[in-house]
Each structure stands twice: as C-alpha cells, then as structure tokens.
Amino acid sequence: MNGIAGGDATNDPALRSWLTVPETSDFPIQNLPFGMFTSHDDPVPRAGVAIGDHIVDLVAVHESGVMRFPSADMLRGSLNELFEFGVGPVRKRLSELLTAGNKELGRAANRAITSMAGARMHMPFSVGDYVDFYSSEQHATNLGRMFRPDDPPLLPNWKHIPIGYHGRASTIVPSGTEVRRPSGQRWGPDGPTFGPSARLDIELEVGFFTSRSTELGTSLPVDAAHDLMAGVVLVNDWSARDIQAWEYQPLGPFLGKSFATSVSPWVVTMEALAPFWVDAPAQDPPPLPYLAAEPNRALDLHLEVEINGVVICRTDFKEMYWTMGQQLAHVASNGTALRSGDLYASGTVSGSGPGRFGSLLELSWNGSQPIDLGNGETRTFLEDGDTVTIRGWCQLDHGPRIGFGECTSTIVPAGE
Ligand code: CA
C-alpha cells in the first residue's frame, strides 16, 4: 500500500543524513526520488536515488551486498522493473542507510555515492502509453472564453468526465533535451501553409507514472488507483498553437502536441508525498459513482515557471478540478489494460488570478497582451533560444522541502 495520508518514519521532518544536504535542496533525506542516470563512461543508464547534490547508485549498492536486489539487470535501462518489484521497502532501507549515525555502507559509500553534477539524467521509465488530461477548470474556462466567447465557457461534458486524449510516448524526453521548433500546417489569410510554428507555447503540467500493469478487462476504483501510481514528475506539454488550432477539429490534439513532451527526471514517490494530500475542491454536480472518492484527495504541490530566469507563473496543483485518482479510474473504467510506466499528465495547471495561468496562450490572452519579462523584453509566444524551466515542491510550514528538481528545455530553430 502506498497510503495517501500521513506517512511513516521516512517522512519524519527531524530526520537528518550523514551526507551534507544544502538547506534549500529539493532532495532532503525525506524525499529520496528515483531516476535513471549515466556517469563516467558507462553508456547504460542505471537506477539512482537523489539526496542533496548526490546520487546513490543502486547498482553499486547492490554489488556492495549492503542491500541486494533480485538482479543488477533490473536496475539498468529504466525504472519499470524496479517499481514493479516495489520501491517502498527499497526507499525505507535507503533512508536507514543514509540517516546520520548509520555506518553500514562503510567503504562501499565511495563507489555508491556519486556527484549529481557529473551525471546525465535519462528518461526514468520506458513509457508505453501516454495520456494527457484537461483537468483545470480555470484553464478550460479561459480557453472557452477565448475561442467560444458567445457560449458557456465549459462544454456540457466537462464536469462529468475527466477529459483527455492519448498522446505520443515516443517523443517524451527528459529535462535538458532541446526542443526543436516544429513545422506544420496552419491556416492563414490565403489558405493553409506549411512552415515553422509561430505560436510555440508551454503547458505547465504534473504527471504520474504507473508502477504496475493491469489485466485487460479490469477496472479500478478511485481509491485503488493510488496504489498503482509509482510517483510524480513535472511535465511541459509543448504546444504549437497555430498547428493545433487548424488541425484539432473534430478529433482533438495531434501533431501540434506530439513533437515533444518534457518531464523532470526524478520520480518523487507516493511514499515521499504521503504527508501532502489535502481535500480536493468540491465537485458540483457530484461525479458518477465510478468517479466518486470519499475523501477525494489532491496533492498540495506548489509550481512555478520561468522563461530565461524570469518567473512568469506561480500556481498550485491542489486547485485542479479532477484528481489523479479520478483520472486513472476513468482511464481504466472501460477495461483497458494499463501498463507499468504509463504516463498520465494532468492538463495545464491554471489557478485563478493574474500570473497563475500555466500557458503563454492564457498569460498573453491569445497573444493580445504581451508578457513583460521585466528585462526590457516581452513575449507572447516562445522565441528560438528561450529557456523554459518548471519547478515544483511540497512543503508543510517549515518542514522539509520535497522538491521535484527542474523540468527545463531550450528552444532551437526549426530544421530544414
Ligand atoms: Ca496539455
């Protein structure tokens, strides 16, 4: 059981490590997120756990004999097999090994603990299927107001169904991967043309991976859905608005989205997030029974977006109308088979009020109000060379900061 309330000894705010962890780190000993990294000359990504500015190399820990896994192979390539095995006990044991006073790693620590600065991060999971939702009422309302000003902003199904679409798994990339401006077909005054997108945008999102597969023909209640979640990452669902606007009717997002989706590389586990669940916003009308959860829990996660070092958005994930549990229960409700390593993204996270919208489309109100970057520059949509960085963290009062690291990418010009 992951449990979505409270936590255990690994979440104790008083825990300290014998490793030096900077006060402002996203990765205190209470976090211990999992990722895939390479360092030195080993070309095969291996599983690691972040603490402060260090990575604990799980292959080296296994080889030291201090903690044994069924095989070293399950720690290479992707996190899929490790999460199917179960990371709760692994994280608990690592918490013990890293706690101040523990000397069990001994001389093995030299090999097992490596500098984050010398490592390259890779995709944490091998992603089989990718779903993107549309679960922020504010975001859906903003888009309705922009594009259907004479109608009610929310379509009639929106408060009954967690709306989503199946995206493209092959173009999900880890933070740090450059994003090439896509070319595509868009509508213009003289009819359709093909060329580089002129309205390249971000979507600030939060995603979760699934840890296990399910049998075709089975569904999943909202409460059980949490037990299938491996952990949470930050997502940037890059969107070419001009391509999207011309292609999306009648079947929804397609090539305006599938050129790149970025994720943060460290998977913050459900175990680390246990203390940060709060009541989700009230739902009116009440959802159908298969989507009902009592209580319906949302993650209290703070988010911000920077362009070229300037913060353009600060918002909160807990304001989303549809919760992660409801999203996964909805996907499984028709009996589809879920796979280990599926990625489910929340949809653009937009809060209410200025500066709390999670896309440039909304922040610039469809390009009509340029965003002042405060350094003599403005933006409506992204320019080549722009670097977008998403950050996120959970924190109670002055407790440990359970951070997600960065989801960052730079835009490079369209290809020939
Ligand atoms: Ca999206």
Q: 25: domain CATH number?
A: 2.30.30.230
* Pair (41, 78) in one structural domain: yes
Tell me how far the alpha carbon of residue 125 lies from the centroid of ligand 1, in angstroms: 20
Tell me how far the alpha carbon of residue 206 lies from the centroid of ligand 1, in angstroms: 10
* Pair (68, 137) in one structural domain: no
Tell me how far the alpha carbon of residue 313 lies from the centroid of ligand 1, in angstroms: 16
Using the predicted structure, report yes or no on whether residue 50 has a pLDDT greater than 60: yes
* Pair (115, 147) in one structural domain: no
Q: Write down the pLDDT at residue 415.
A: 87
Domain boundary (81, 96, 122) is at 122
Q: 390: domain CATH number?
A: 3.90.850.10
Tell me how far the alpha carbon of residue 66 lies from the centroid of ligand 1, in angstroms: 43
HEC string of the chain equals: CCCCCCCCHHHCCCCCECCCCCCCCCCCCCCCCEEEEEECCCCCCEEEEEECCEEEEHHHHHHHCCCCCCCCHHHECCCHHHHHHCCHHHHHHHHHHHECCCCCCHHHHHHHEEEHHHEEEECCCCCCCEEEECCCHHHHHHHHHHHCCCCCCCCCCCCCCCCEEECCHHHEEECCCCEECCEEEEEECCEEEEEECCCEECCEEEEEEECCCCCCCCCCCHHHHHHHEEEEEEEECCEEHHHHHHHCCCCCCCCCCCCCEEECCCEEEHHHHHHHEEECCCCCCCCCHHHCCCCCEEECCEEEEEECCEEEEEEEHHHCCCCHHHHHHHHHCCCCCCCCCCEEECCCCCCCCCCCCCCHHHHCCCCCCCEECCCCCEECCCCCCCEEEEEEEECCCCCCCEEEEEEEEEEECCCC
Q: Write down the pLDDT at residue 1.
A: 37
Domain boundary (63, 94, 122) is at 122
* Pair (62, 108) in one structural domain: yes
d(CA 269, CA 168): 24
pLDDT digits (tens, 9 = 90+) for 75-85: 999 999 999 99
* Pair (117, 138) in one structural domain: no
Using the predicted structure, report yes or no on whether residue 347 has a pLDDT greater than 90: yes
Confidence of residue 3 (pLDDT cuts 50, 70, 90): very low
Once rounded to an integer, what is the mean pLDDT over residues 126-132?
97
Residue 79's φ and ψ, nearest 5 degrees, are -85, -5
* Pair (151, 83) in one structural domain: no
CB distance 183 to 369 below 8 Å = no
Tell me how far the alpha carbon of residue 165 lies from the centroid of ligand 1, in angstroms: 9
Residue 7's φ and ψ, nearest 5 degrees, are 110, -165
Once rounded to an integer, what is the mean pLDDT over residues 387-404?
96
pLDDT digits (tens, 9 = 90+) for 232-244: 999 999 999 999 9
* Pair (174, 236) in one structural domain: yes
Tell me how far the alpha carbon of residue 85 lies from the centroid of ligand 1, in angstroms: 31
Tell me how far the alpha carbon of residue 253 lies from the centroid of ligand 1, in angstroms: 9
Domain that holds residue 20: 2-122
Q: Which two tokens stand for residue 349?
A: 């996270």
Mean of per-residue pLDDT scores for the chain = 96
Tell me how far the alpha carbon of residue 236 lies from the centroid of ligand 1, in angstroms: 8
Active-site pick, 139, 160, 166, 226:
139
139 included as an active-site residue: yes
* Pair (112, 134) in one structural domain: no
Domain boundary (122, 148, 165) is at 122
Domains in the chain: how many in total?
Answer: 2
* Pair (315, 231) in one structural domain: yes
Q: Which two tokens stand for residue 118?
A: 């010398």
Once rounded to an integer, what is the mean pLDDT over residues 211-232?
96
* Pair (320, 280) in one structural domain: yes
* Pair (54, 165) in one structural domain: no
Using the predicted structure, report yes or no on whether residue 179 has a pLDDT greater than 80: yes
Q: Write down the pLDDT at residue 5.
A: 57
Entry pTM: 0.97
* Pair (117, 134) in one structural domain: no
